[in-house]
Amino acid sequence: MILSGTSRVYGLLGDPVAHSLSPLMQNRAFQAHHIDAVYLPFHVFPDDLPVAVNGIRALNIAGVNVTIPHKEAVLPLLDKIDPEAKLIGAVNTIVNRDGVLIGHNTDASGFIRSLRQESKLTLEGCDVLLLGAGGACRAAAVGLALAGVKSIFITNRHLERAEKLIDDLIPHFPAVGFSAVSYDKDRYLQALSHVDLIVNATSIGLHGGKVNFLPLEYIKGSALIYDMIYSLSETTLIKDARSRRLHCTDGLGMLAAQGEDAFFLWTGVRLATGFMHKVLTE
Ligand code: NDP
């Protein structure tokens, strides 16, 4: 990579950032398309976020991704928020248009594109169970509602967070049947046995743990299990699902697709389908 005085600078704001695969993905994409740009990790502590965001303007950084724990805190620091990001309540991509910082969320679009690419599931009219209630779950719920699913059940350790998420979304998606279900109730097992798609949007599994409130024996054979956790080896959930011959996929495709969508927002270049996924798996 040869940088010059005209090279454009992109980056990632997060705490931590050292584990991130985004620099690898984005720099490969710039190289492949002969774009004079570089993508750098910026380790930003929560108290420094306002200064860091002003730094984007001051240094004319062309765009950044935003990751944990800043995705929600960054919203009031921006000039404009894309409607989908506003609905999700989180921003993972900022575009700097001549000093105007615009917040987007490519987690929802990336999740839906990866689902469509990696499975034969018809999202329109299907029934879904989401595990979680954090930012990733909010993005999945919005993406799925926009894609036209029929119903979304949500379970979470702290059920009140799932209820709050549903209260926020119901006015925007009156045609979708939302319900919060506690995973220690029979109704949860009923939902589990009839849904077409189950999404683990909790952080369980990130360090090898098991989602112990997901009894796989109740899941119907045609359902898809989507584990948002990504790992170059199999997550425990994926391993267990495969051993039961259930359809399953992990979050690597979502990571790749949300990165492709951020790249498009910054450069206007639509990468070939699977470009980032190939970079990650190589
Ligand atoms: P948040 O911190 O916002 O939410 C974490 C969620 O996990 C909450 O619902 C929390 O429940 C639940 N949780 C955490 N620990 C436990 C536990 N021990 N038992 C039960 N529930 C638990 O994180 P995000 O929503 O931003 O991210 C969730 C996961 O999705 C992360 O692991 C992240 O890596 C992954 N992700 C993947 C992406 C991809 O591109 N593949 C993109 C974005 C996220 P509670 O509310 O009760 O605390």
> What does the domain layout of the chain look like in residue ranges?
8-105+254-281, 108-250
> Can you tell me the mean pLDDT for 253-275?
96
Report CA(134)–ligand 1 centroid distance (Å): 6
Give the Å distance between the CA of 203 and the centre of ligand 1.
3
**Nearest alpha carbon, ligand 1 atom 14:** 203
CB atoms within 10 A of CB 213: 15
Ligand 1 atom with minimal separation from the 110 CA:
40
pLDDT tens across 214-241, in order?
999 999 999 999 999 987 788 999 999 9
- What gap in Å lies between CA 233 and CA 255, rounded to an integer? 15
In the reported structure, the alpha carbon of residue 141 is separated from the centroid of ligand 1 by a whole-number distance in angstroms of 14
Distance, CA 202 to ligand 1 centroid (Å)? Answer: 3
Displacement of CA 77 from its chain's centroid (Å):
21
71: annotated active-site residue: yes
Model confidence at 96: pLDDT above 90: yes
pLDDT tens sequence across 99-146: 999 999 999 999 999 999 999 899 999 999 999 999 999 999 999 999
Judged against a pLDDT cut of 80, whether residue 1 lies above it is answered with no
Residue 138 CA, ligand 1 centroid: distance in Å: 11
Please give the Cα distance from 148 to 62 (Å, whole number): 34
Same topology between domain 8-105+254-281 and domain 108-250: yes
CB of 251 closer than 6 A to ligand 1? yes
Give the confidence band of 2 by pLDDT, cuts at 50, 70, 90. Answer: confident
Q: Collect all residues with Cβ–Cβ distance below 8 Å to 44 and sequence separation of at least 6.
A: 13, 14, 15, 52, 70
Q: CA of 156: how far to CAs of 132, 145, 161, 204, 213, in Å?
A: 5, 19, 7, 11, 10
276 Cβ contact list (under 8 Å, min separation 6): 25, 28, 29, 255, 256, 257, 259, 260, 263
Catalytically annotated residue among 71, 86, 120, 278: 71
Residue 213 Cβ inside 6 Å of ligand 1? The answer reads no
H helix runs in the chain, sequence order: 22-32, 49-58, 83-88, 106-118, 135-147, 159-169, 186-194, 236-243, 252-267, 275-281
Q: Is residue 154 a contact partner of residue 165, using CB atoms and an 8 Å limit?
A: yes
Indicate if ligand 1 lies below 6 Å from the C-beta of 132. yes
Proportion of the chain above pLDDT 70, given as a percent = 100
Decide if 158 contacts 233 (C-beta within 8 A). Answer: no
Highest CATH level, class, for 8-105+254-281: alpha beta
Give Cα 158 to chain centroid, integer Å.
21
Quote the pLDDT of residue 39: 98
Nearest CA to ligand 1 atom 23: 134
137: Cβ below 6 Å to ligand 1? Answer: yes
Token pair belonging to 196? 């077409």
What's the mean pLDDT in 22-43? 97
Residue 279 has pLDDT above 80, yes or no: yes
Of the options 1.20.58.710, 1.10.20.10, 3.10.580.10, 3.40.50.720, the CATH number for the domain spanning 108-250 = 3.40.50.720
What does the pLDDT average to over 149-175?
A: 97
pLDDT classification of 156: cutoffs 50, 70, 90 = very high
User: Residue 184: which pLDDT band, with cuts at 50, 70 and 90?
Assistant: confident
230 Cα nearest atom in ligand 1: 41
254 lines ligand 1 (CB under 6 A): yes
pTM, rounded to two decimals: 0.95
**C-alpha distances in Å from residue 267, one per residue of 28, 99, 103:** 14, 16, 15
